Amino acid sequence: MSMLTPPGMGGKYRITGNRYPRMRRPRNRRRIVLASLASVCALSLGGWGTLQLIDIFSGGTSANAAGSSGKGTGGADCATDAKADKRNPKRDGKKIDLPEPDSIKVNVLNATDRSGLAKSIADKLEKRGFKIGEVTNAPKEFDKKVENTGILMGAPGEDGDARLKVLGTQFKDVENQFDDRKGEDVDFIIGKAYEKLAKEKEADAALTALSDPKPSPSRGRCKD
């Protein structure tokens, strides 16, 4: 009986030959599972990072698309633009009828301590086509109390507002006010910060933009 024959087998089963079975160490299943999970996590993180880079270089179109609401494209932006159009009719690009400078009578009132300033401004406005009314000192309520370039004052209503807007193209940093006057004349009350009229080219461009505004660029197509 061979030494490799198990006891009690009586020699019935013998191992012969010069080859012997090899005993292998059992595989560590836990290590295999952990390695698999680590691979899945790495692939997931890689895919997420790739999507983020695509979103950044494409301008965030996916985020913008997801953030839009309402019917069609544009969502809240379309609703905001529609409300703005109602408040400001100039946004639709239609030409607005405004009074010509020669139909606007301007009173030039000096609220500063610089003598002769009202007469100088009145002469310049007249050369630009405006009618000139009174040229004098401002009332006490405004005398040396106007800090900015000046105040434009006229009658309330759409007509009065239009006259002030046309005259306002000739100045920078002026304030519009309304009083209870009945006439069509307007006042320019000179303030301490006044230096000079706007350049004639700039004033003409501002008047053109006021009467013939360009339609506002749309942020996107708004559909019903």
Q: Report DSSP letters for 122-133, one per residue.
A: HHHHHHTT-EEE
Bridge partners (DSSP) of residue 153 are 177, 187
Q: Is 117's pLDDT higher than 70?
A: yes
Mean pLDDT, range 200-219, rounded to an integer: 81
pLDDT at res. 110: 98
Going by pLDDT thresholds of 50, 70 and 90, the confidence category of residue 60 is low
Nearest Cα neighbor of 167 from 138, 196, 207, 120 is 207
Of the listed ranges 58-72, 100-114, 175-189, the least confidently predicted one is: 58-72
Going by pLDDT thresholds of 50, 70 and 90, the confidence category of residue 34 is confident
In angstroms, what is the C-alpha Rg of the chain? 43
Whole-number average pLDDT of the chain: 77
**List of domains in the chain:** 101-211 (3.30.70)
- CB count in 10 Å sphere of residue 184: 14
Of 53 and 63, the one with more pLDDT? 53
Read off the pLDDT of residues 75-97 as tens digits, 9 standing for 90 and up. 555 555 554 444 444 445 556 78
Strand order in the sheet with 186-190: 131-137, 105-110, 186-190, 150-154, 174-178
Going by pLDDT thresholds of 50, 70 and 90, the confidence category of residue 116 is very high
Backbone angles phi, psi at 47, to 5 degrees: -65, -40
pTM of this structure: 0.56
Read off the pLDDT of residues 178-204 as tens digits, 9 standing for 90 and up. 999 988 999 999 999 999 999 999 999
Distance CA 192, CA 197 (A): 14
Q: Is 33's pLDDT higher than 80?
A: no
